Amino acid sequence: MDAAVYPGSFDPITNGHVDIIERGAQMVDKLDIVVLVNQNKKPMFSLEERMDMIYHSVKHLDNVEVHFFEGLLVKYLKKNNIKYIIRGLRAMSDFENEFQMALMNKKQCDLVETIFLVSKVEYSYLSSSAVKELANFEGNIEDLVPEYVNEKVVEKVKGGKK
Ligand code: PNS
Element (H, E) at 3: strand 3-8
Mean per-residue pLDDT, 133-154: 97
Q: What is the pLDDT of residues 67-83, one digit of tens each?
A: 999 999 999 999 999 99
- Full-model pTM: 0.96
Known catalytic membership, residue 41: yes
Q: Which residues line ligand 1 (CB under 6 A)?
A: 7-9, 36-38, 41, 72-73, 101, 104-105
